[in-house]
Structure 1
Amino acid sequence: MARRPRQESAAPAAPVTVTVCRGCCCGSAAKHPGVDHAGQLERLRAGVGTAGKVRAVDCLDACGHSNVVVVSPSAEGRKAGGRPVWLGWVLADDMLDEVVDWVRAGGPGIVPPPGMLDLQEFTVSRRIREGLPG
């Protein structure tokens, strides 16, 4: 009996990932009254759709920049030199729209951040960066 050649199944490439801090300060109505934190997360998830993935984590330990969002490159973006981009003070709908637009366009390493997102960018210490959940 002849064997058919084995087909290699290509694993899906890692998508752009948006990590949203929702721990002590970032998800706090006490710190950011009037901000619909749950609504922000749903807005990101709906906007990003299948272009990437959105996840919420308890705390990214960058409370001085609350509300923190980290946009991590796709596998393709990482190959092109993209690295995670930490964004602070992501509170307004237009900022969320820019994050969604960026993810849908390819994210870090593929296209520069749109609009005013570069003004929201900040650098974290290596200790914090290496503690980012995978």
Structure 2
Amino acid sequence: MTVCRDCCCGSSEKHPGVDHDAQLAAIRGAVGERHRVRVSECLRVCERSNVVVVHPTPAARRGGARVVHLGDVLDDRVVGAVADWLDAGGPGLARVPAELTDRIFDPAEYAD
């Protein structure tokens, strides 16, 4: 999983009331050692901040699965849904949880 930070994702100016450092710690805590969490400086889809990209497993990717971009990841309920989805297999292997379906977006729609 890749978590966008250090731009508007992670900005208290754009998202007052969200403790972004605590949220990143919560993401890491939710997925534990089971999944890798990478932090990106900016994914250039600021309209959908806070952005998280969920990567398929290598086997799922060989089967045609692609990354899934999630926007507006701003609370613990959504973080938990992402962790549960990863534990179930993630993109290409497990159904997207209902809590996440409205947050999926295509970054190409936001390209400059």
Q: TM-score, normalised by structure 1?
A: 0.77
Aligned AA (1:21):
C
Aligned AA (2:32):
G
Select the residue among 21, 30, 39 that pairs with 2:13.
Answer: 30
Aligned AA (1:83):
R
Report sequence identity in percent: 48
Structure of greater relative contact order (alpha carbons < 8 Å, 6+ residues apart): 2
Gaps of 5+ in 1: 1-17, 129-134
Cα distance in 1 between the residues matched to 2:26 and 2:82: 11
Q: Which has the larger radius of gyration?
A: 1
Q: Which has the higher helix share?
A: 2
Maintained 8 Å contact 2:55/2:66:
yes
Maintained 8 Å contact 1:102/1:111:
yes
- Root-mean-square deviation (CA, aligned residues, Å) is 1.6
Gaps of 5+ in 2: none
CA deviations 1:97-122 (Å, max 9, x no partner) are 10010111111011021122011000
Q: TM-score, normalised by structure 2?
A: 0.92
1:4 alignment counterpart: none
1:47 alignment counterpart: 30
How many matched pairs? 111
